[in-house]
Each structure stands twice: as structure tokens, then as C-alpha cells.
């Protein structure tokens, strides 16, 4: 089986997860790697077969997405060219970690594509949502890297397609050391998305 594993390269979370996912995929199939986006500091140990500038998000000084900077720094014509050029037809399956170029190429060419990302969990009704509605955020989640089949990662298993986060092997195998710090108990009110100590 030939798999194209497509990873979002804006930020480090998607590539950090990929460092664990790729070896598992390589044990089961032939895997080619695609990265789009230009703002990651994490590098992969494996060869990256396809690199695109993609559709990157730019963040403001307060941590949220800066919509105006994101629009100004992205070239929509280049994005369409990359979608057209993306070789999804050469693969039996595309696994997508919130990566828009391959997701849209698959949608336009009717190629099987599954989402394996944190964002995949956000399609689930039971996942906690912010108390205020964010139209732009909602549009991005629903349309940025749209896949027909979604498997997500979240801190709780909200349905059969949601799994707990992937933790790097070197973190899971660390020896715990008790240093006398006490952890405050927190109660999470998922409905209102508030933390109380």
C-alpha cells in the first residue's frame, strides 16, 4: 500500500506528532511525506518528498491568528497551483494532519483522504467549545483541510473517532522524579470552558 502522509508545517505540534506517526506507518506501508507551511522549527528524521509553501497562518502579538497578515502573506494563485500539482492520485490513501494542499487536491480528484489531527476531534458534538462563537475560527476548522473521514486527538475520548494525544516515546519513557512540588487540583467545567482552583 502506498500512503501519502501530509503534515501542516505552521507551528510545531503537527510535526512533533508526525515524529511518532511516521515510524508506525513505515512498519505497515510505503510512505511518502508532504509538508506545507513555512513556520515550523521541528524537523523530521525521514526524507520529505514534497514541500509546499501552502497556506500558512500568521499569529498576532496576543497569540491569536492575525487575519490581515495571514491574507497579505499568502498567495492564493500559488496555493491553487500547488493543489493542482499535488500528486495525490499516485497514492492508495492520503493521511492528512490539517494540511490544506493535499486535502483540497483529494477533494477535487475524489481521492480517499482521512484526517488524523487534533482538529479532527473538533468536528465531534461532545468536544467542549468556547462560550462565544468565532465565525472565522469555525470557517477555518470546517474548510481549511476538509476530509470526509476524521480521526482526532483530544484529552478525553468524546466518541469512537477521538483518541488521547500522541506522546513522544522519549517523554513516555522518562523516569519520574519526585521533587516535592504539589500539584493544585483543578476542576474543569467543560460547558463553560472555565478552570477553577
Encode burial over 58-90: b for 16+ CB neighbours within 10 A, e otherwise: beeeeeeeeeeebeeeeeeeebeebbeebebee
pLDDT tens digits for range 78-106:
999 999 999 999 999 999 999 999 999 99
pLDDT tens digits for range 152-175:
888 888 888 888 888 887 887 888
Domains of the chain: 2-196 (3.40.50)
Separation of alpha carbons 34 and 51, rounded Å: 6
What is the DSSP secondary-structure string of 45-56? SSPP-EEE----
Model pLDDT, residue 191: 43
pLDDT tens digits for range 50-59:
999 998 877 7
The CA radius of gyration of the chain, in Å to the nearest whole number, is: 18
Number of Cβ within 10 Å of residue 127's Cβ equals: 16
For strands 113-117 and 30-39, give the pairing: unpaired
Mean pLDDT of the chain: 85
pLDDT tens digits for range 128-153:
877 888 777 788 778 889 898 989 88
Amino acid at each position: 500500500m502506498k500512503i501519502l502522509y501530509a503534515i501542516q508545517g505552521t507551528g510545531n505540534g503537527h510535526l512533533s506528532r508526525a515524529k511518532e506517526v511516521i515510524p508506525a506507518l513505515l512498519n505497515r506501508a510505503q510512505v511518502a511525506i508532504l509538508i506545507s507551511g513555512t513556520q515550523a522549527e521541528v524537523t523530521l528524521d525521514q526524507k520529505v518528498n514534497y514541500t509546499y509553501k501552502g497556506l500558512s497562518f500568521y499569529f498576532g502579538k496576543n497569540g491569536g491568528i492575525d487575519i490581515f497578515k495571514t491574507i497579505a502573506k499568502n498567495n492564493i494563485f500559488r496555493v491553487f497551483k500547488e493543489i493542482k500539482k499535488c500528486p495525490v492520485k499516485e497514492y492508495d490513501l492520503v493521511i492528512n494532519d490539517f494540511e490544506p494542499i493535499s486535502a483540497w487536491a483529494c477533494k477535487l480528484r475524489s481521492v480517499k483522504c482521512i484526517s488524523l489531527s487534533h482538529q479532527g476531534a473538533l468536528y465531534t458534538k461532545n468536544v467542549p467549545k468556547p462560550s462565544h462563537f468565532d465565525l472565522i475560527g469555525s470557517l477555518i476548522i470546517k474548510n481549511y483541510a476538509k476530509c470526509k473521514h476524521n480521526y482526532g486527538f483530544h484529552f478525553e475520548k468524546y466518541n469512537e473517532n477521538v483518541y488521547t494525544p500522541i506522546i513522544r516515546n522519549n517523554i513516555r519513557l522518562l523516569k519520574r522524579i519526585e521533587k516535592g512540588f504539589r500539584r493544585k487540583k483543578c476542576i474543569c467545567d467543560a460547558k463553560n470552558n472555565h478552570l477553577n482552583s
